[in-house]
């Protein structure tokens, strides 16, 4: 696609105390495309995502949305832009039901009173729009759902808000084969609807199955961001494990991205 | 995995079946709800009325309400803190401090009752603000903060009630709360209005949902709920409206104690807040998964602080009720077993100590169990020592049921 990125980060640095987790990271996501964010355990993928979502403040760097410089200092700022994140640990409340979770923090109200009916209708519509038919009742507690169902709820929660960018942190890590296929199908459908989707995954098959672009993080640095059609499995694995692959990647494992 | 998105309501029979089956499944899955408290209450009442027929007398029935009122009110506030998975060990003595403030202003300073009551309630709110801020902002475990406050407040009560051993309350209005009754006719009228309003709300809600194509509570279930409320509340009003005076010719004693409608109003308000407002939803969310709540943009610190404010505020009302009932405030007001009974009431009622689960109604159900145990054992002539041991054991039992049902929920994939 020839469109520019809807979300673009430049020169992001992030430290936790003395430990610098992200070094000068650049990252872009494009509407209608799935961008895979790959990297070894501890490379900083989740941290990058949390910076995008306003969970962690960034130390320095620039955050552009739809071409404009923005400042995201909390989850509500990100949500206001239309950036939604499905966290690795899902961030669902077990003691609340599906509708309650989908609207958490953004409840519909009639004056002071929660508008449960409208929320339930919107939740049902969203799930139907995603062709999700695997939950018995929208009023069942999330604690009673399977892993795949929880993932589905978390994704539905993210797209409920006419969001423009949806970021999924390892959505298939804890799932079986059938449920993984379902979730990947859902991921592809989101992009086909015109959303910019960022998919974090360890699984090369998953990555190549659905993504248009691949961004590889290596030890907190962006090794490369390339089109999926222009690289092989082996090259991506090399980028993940050593930060470079032939012409691609970091110049000396420590320097700036090519 | 089933392949229905939303089971549309086919006919009333199957909807009822689904409803009942859902309930049984939840109970089997470890969500016992009000079941243990209700069963316990029934068994205790049967046992005590067989062993001590006086337990069933109208006088004693009225006693149960005035005896249990303060603890139930404190428990209702505690539920907010428990919902977050926190604890407030100082709620008992916080009620004592507020009662002492009330007594000092009323009796020693000669303030009008309404100002003294406002001051007592404001004291409660400020106490909660301080405790909550220490927990939420400084991150001191609530157990430690409130344990320290427990000791300190005990001292504050002693300091406030310095002259002599107690301050007596002479204000008619304050004394009326726990000692005067609602005229029987008004009691009946309030009952009818209350039950009708409950029925109307339930039916309207079900109709509205059906009209929008959403699954609604079957009419049979609504009818059962309304009937239960009408029978239980009707029985209570009937008994409380019986003549309780030994010498009715001289002084008549009948009607619902004024403290009962007060508690009912508190119950309705807090139930509304917890179930129907975004704030209530956020309390559950923070108790269920604080990190998820934070990521949803909820101000977790503010929720924490507000829960402690509500808890101490309710403790102040409990303190006012206790002062009214005792006609005085002494250094032990809100002390000894008050806190244990309040925590016990909440947990016995079905509120989880692990957070995220509980209702305002739990305070009344559990409070009733605690009041019946205390009252019944008193009638049997057991000493305070035995009563403490038994109540402590019941609290432990309730906490055990809570922990076990949580384990069971984990085993059946409900958590
Ligand atoms: N809140 C935190 N405080 C301190 N260190 C953190 C925190 N979150 C992540 N880290 C560290 O940052 C590094 C990157 O973690 P993470 O972003 O979770 O990696 P990934 O998701 O790529 O596996 C790890 O070394 C991790 O220990
Ligand atoms: Mg991660």
A75-110 pLDDT, tens digit per residue, is: 889 989 999 999 877 689 999 999 999 999 999 999
Q: Is B293 on the interface with A (CB under 8 A)?
A: yes
* Contacts A119 to B, Cβ<8 Å: none
Cβ-Cβ contacts under 8 Å, B278 against chain A: 107, 109, 114
Burial call B343-357: b when 16+ CB within 10 Å, e when fewer: bbbbbbbbbbbebbb
The predicted structure's pLDDT at residue A258: 40
Among candidate residues B153, B146, B163, the one with its CA nearest the CA of residue B304: B146
Which candidate, A246, A220, A164, places its Cα nearest to that of A26? A220
Contacts of A74 in chain B (CB under 8 A): 297
Q: Whose CA is nearest to atom 27 of ligand 1?
A: A42
The pLDDT value given to residue B334: 85
Q: What is the pLDDT of residue A143?
A: 87
Q: What are phi and psi of A110, to 5 degrees?
A: -110, 95
Cβ–Cβ gap B292/A124 under 8 Å = no
Average pLDDT over residues A162-181: 87
Return the pLDDT at A93: 94
- pLDDT for B198 beyond 90: yes
Q: Do B7 and A137 touch (CB under 8 A)?
A: yes
Whether A79 and B297 lie within 8 Å, measured CB to CB? yes
Please tell me if residue A174 touches chain B, with a CB cutoff of 8 Å: no
Contact present, A155 and A86 (Cβ < 8 Å): yes
> Looking at the partner chain, which of B2, B288, B297 has a beta carbon nearest the beta carbon of A95?
B288
**A61 reaches B (C-beta below 8 A):** no
Ligand 1 pocket by C-beta < 6 Å: which residues?
Answer: A 16, 19, 21, 39, 41-47
List Cα–Cα distances, B87 to B83, B145, B352, in angstroms. Answer: 9, 10, 11
Across the interface, of B4, B293, B297, the residue whose CB is closest to A136 is: B4
Residues of A in contact with B293 (CB under 8 A): 93, 104-105
The predicted-structure confidence for A6-43, as pLDDT tens digits, reads as follows: 999 999 999 999 999 999 999 999 999 999 999 999 99
- Taking the C-alpha atoms of residue B394 and residue A31, their distance in angstroms, rounded to an integer, is 60
When comparing pLDDT for A133 and B333, which is higher? B333
Q: A7-90+162-249 — its CATH code? A: 3.40.50.300
Nearest chain A Cα distance for residue B288, angstroms: 5
- pLDDT confidence tier of residue A181, bands split at 50, 70 and 90: confident
Which residue's alpha carbon is at the smallest distance from atom 12 of ligand 1?
Answer: A21
Above pLDDT 70, what percent of chain A?
A: 96
Question: Residue A5 pLDDT > 80, yes or no?
Answer: yes
Q: Which two tokens stand for residue B117?
A: 């009551």
pLDDT tens string A48-61: 999 999 989 999 99
CB A218 within 8 A of CB A38: no
Q: What is the pLDDT of residue A219?
A: 93
Residue B186's pLDDT is what?
A: 95
Please state the domain extents for chain B: 34-180+257-411, 181-256
What is the model's pLDDT at position B209? 92
Closest C-alpha to A103, from A119, A88, A125, A87: A119
Q: Is the pLDDT of residue A254 over 70?
A: no
> Of the ranges A216-230, A232-246, B113-127, B401-415, which is most confident?
B113-127
CB contact under 8 A, A95 and B357: yes
CA angle (A158 as vertex; A153, A163 as ends), nearest 5: 150
- Residue in B296, B352, B411 to test binding to A, most A beta-carbons within 10 Å: B296
Instruction: Give the DSSP H/E element, type plus range, for residue A221.
Output: strand A221-227
What are the residues whose beta carbon lies below 5 Å from ligand 2 (ion)? A 46
How far does A251 lie from chain B, in Å, by closest CA? 37
Chain A residues within an 8 Å CB radius of B288: 93-96
Is residue B2 very low, low, confident or very high in pLDDT (cuts 50, 70, 90)? very low
The model's pLDDT over A115-128, given as tens digits with 9 standing for 90+, comes to: 999 999 999 988 88
Class of the CATH-defined domain B34-180+257-411: mainly alpha
In the three-class reduction of DSSP (H, G, I as helix; E, B as strand; rest coil), residue A188 is classed as: helix
Across A129-140, average pLDDT? 80
Q: Report CB contact under 8 Å: A106, B297.
A: yes
Q: Is B211 on the interface with A (CB under 8 A)?
A: no
Instruction: State chain B's maximal CA–CA distance in angstroms.
Output: 73
Q: Which residue has the higher pLDDT, B132 or B4?
A: B132
Q: Band the pLDDT of A1: cuts 50, 70, 90.
A: very low
What is the structure's pLDDT at B5?
Answer: 42
For ligand 1, the distance from its centroid to the CA atom of residue B141, given in whole angstroms, is 26
Q: What is the pLDDT of residue A253?
A: 47
Rounded to an integer, the average pLDDT of A228-245 is 90
A93 vs B contacts (CB less than 8 Å): 284-285, 288-289, 292-293, 356
Q: What pLDDT shows up at residue B327? A: 92
pLDDT digits (tens, 9 = 90+) for B236-275: 999 999 988 888 778 888 899 999 999 999 999 999 999 9
pLDDT tens-place string over residues B24-47:
877 777 677 788 889 999 999 999
B281 interfaces chain A, CB cutoff of 8 Å? yes
Closest chain B CA to residue A111? B277
Relative to the alpha carbon of A171, which ligand is closest?
Answer: 2
Inter-chain touch B5–A96, beta carbons under 8 Å: no
Q: What DSSP string describes B58-71?
A: HHHHHHHHHHHHHH
Chain A residues closer than 8 Å to B296 by CB = 75, 91, 104-106
How confident is the model at residue B384, as a pLDDT? 83
pLDDT averaged over every residue in chain B: 90
**Mean pLDDT, residues A236-243:** 90
- Do residue A96 and residue B2 have CB atoms under 8 angstroms apart? no
Beta bridge partners of A248: A245
User: Which ligand is located closest to the Cα atom of residue A48?
Assistant: 1
Most ligand 1 atoms within 8 A of CB, residue of A20, A47, A53, A243 to mutate: A47
Query: Do the chains contact at B5 and A74, CB–CB below 8 Å?
Result: no
Residue position matching structure tokens 């003595």? B93
- Pick from B41, B69, B45, B40: nearest CA to B55: B45
Task: Compute CA B57 distance to the chain's CA centroid, rounded to the nearest angstrom.
Answer: 24
| Ligand 1, atom 4, residue with closest C-alpha | A16
**pLDDT of A252 higher than 70:** no
Question: Do B352 and B82 contact (CB within 8 A), yes or no?
Answer: yes
Q: CB contact, 8 Å: A80 with chain B?
A: no
**Prediction ipTM score:** 0.87
> What is the pLDDT, as a whole number, of residue B11?
47
Residue boundaries of the structural domains of chain A: 7-90+162-249
């Amino acid at each position: 696609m020839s469109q520019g990125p809807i979300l673009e980060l430049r020169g992001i640095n992030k430290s936790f105390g003395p430990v610098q987790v992200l070094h000068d990271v650049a990252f872009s996501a494009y509407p209608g495309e799935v961008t895979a964010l790959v990297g070894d355990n501890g490379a900083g993928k989740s941290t990058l995502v949390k910076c995008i979502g306003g969970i962690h403040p960034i130390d320095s760097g620039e955050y552009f949305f739809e071409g404009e410089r923005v400042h995201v200092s909390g989850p509500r700022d990100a949500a206001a832009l239309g950036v939604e994140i499905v966290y690795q640990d899902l961030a669902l409340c077990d003691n609340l039901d599906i509708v309650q979770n989908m609207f958490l923090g953004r409840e519909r109200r009639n004056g002071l009173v929660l508008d449960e009916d409208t929320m339930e209708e919107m939740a049902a519509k969203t799930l139907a729009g995603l062709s999700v038919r695997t939950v018995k009742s929208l009023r069942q507690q999330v604690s009673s759902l399977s892993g795949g169902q929880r993932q589905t709820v978390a994704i539905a929660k993210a797209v409920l808000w006419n969001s423009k960018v949806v970021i999924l942190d390892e959505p298939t890590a804890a799932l079986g084969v059938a449920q993984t296929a379902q979730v990947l199908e859902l991921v592809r459908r989101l992009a086909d609807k015109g959303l910019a989707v960022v998919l974090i995954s360890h699984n090369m098959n998953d990555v190549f199955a659905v993504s248009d672009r691949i961004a590889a993080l290596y030890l907190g640095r962006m090794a490369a961001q390339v089109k999926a059609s222009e690289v092989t499995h082996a090259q991506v694995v090399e980028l993940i494990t050593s930060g470079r692959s032939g012409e691609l990647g970091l110049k000396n494992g420590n320097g700036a991205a090519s | 995995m089933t392949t229905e998105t939303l089971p549309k309501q086919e006919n009333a029979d199957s909807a009822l079946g689904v409803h009942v089956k859902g309930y049984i499944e939840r109970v089997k899955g470890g969500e016992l709800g009000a079941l243990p408290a209700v069963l316990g209450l029934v068994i205790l009442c049967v046992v005590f009325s067989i062993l001590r027929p006086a337990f069933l007398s109208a006088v004693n029935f009225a006693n149960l309400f005035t005896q249990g009122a303060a603890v139930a009110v404190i428990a209702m506030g505690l539920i907010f803190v428990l919902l977050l998975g926190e604890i407030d060990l100082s709620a008992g003595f916080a009620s004592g401090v507020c009662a002492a403030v009330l007594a000092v202003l009323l009796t020693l300073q000669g303030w009008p009752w309404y100002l003294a009551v406002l001051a007592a309630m404001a004291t409660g709110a400020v106490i909660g603000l301080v405790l909550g801020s220490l927990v939420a902002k400084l991150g001191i475990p609530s157990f430690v903060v409130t344990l320290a406050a427990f000791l300190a407040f005990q001292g504050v009560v002693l300091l406030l009630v310095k002259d002599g051993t107690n301050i007596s309350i002479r204000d008619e209005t304050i004394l009326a709360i726990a000692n005067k009754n609602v005229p029987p006719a008004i009691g009946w009228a309030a009952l009818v209005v209350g039950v009708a309003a409950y029925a109307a709300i339930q039916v309207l809600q079900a109709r509205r949902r059906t009209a929008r194509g959403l699954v609604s509570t079957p009419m049979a279930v609504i009818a059962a709920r309304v009937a239960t409320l009408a029978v239980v509340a009707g029985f209570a009003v009937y008994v409380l409206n019986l003549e309780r005076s030994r010498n009715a010719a001289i002084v008549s004693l009948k009607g619902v104690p004024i403290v009962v409608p007060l508690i009912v109003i508190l119950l309705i308000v807090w139930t509304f807040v917890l179930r129907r407002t975004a704030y209530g939803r956020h309390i559950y969310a923070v108790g269920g998964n604080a990190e998820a709540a934070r990521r949803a943009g909820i101000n977790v610190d503010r929720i924490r602080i507000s829960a402690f404010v509500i808890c101490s505020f309710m403790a102040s009302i409990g303190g006012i009720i206790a002062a009214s009932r005792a006609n005085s405030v002494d250094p032990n007001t809100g002390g000894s077993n008050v806190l244990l009974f309040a925590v016990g009431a909440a947990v016995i009622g079905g509120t989880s100590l692990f957070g995220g689960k509980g209702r305002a109604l739990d305070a009344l159900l559990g409070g009733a169990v605690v009041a019946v145990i205390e009252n019944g054992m008193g009638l049997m002539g057991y000493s305070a020592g035995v009563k403490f041991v038994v109540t402590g054991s019941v609290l432990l039992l309730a906490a055990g049921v809570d922990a076990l049902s949580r384990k069971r929920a984990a085993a059946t994939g409900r958590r």
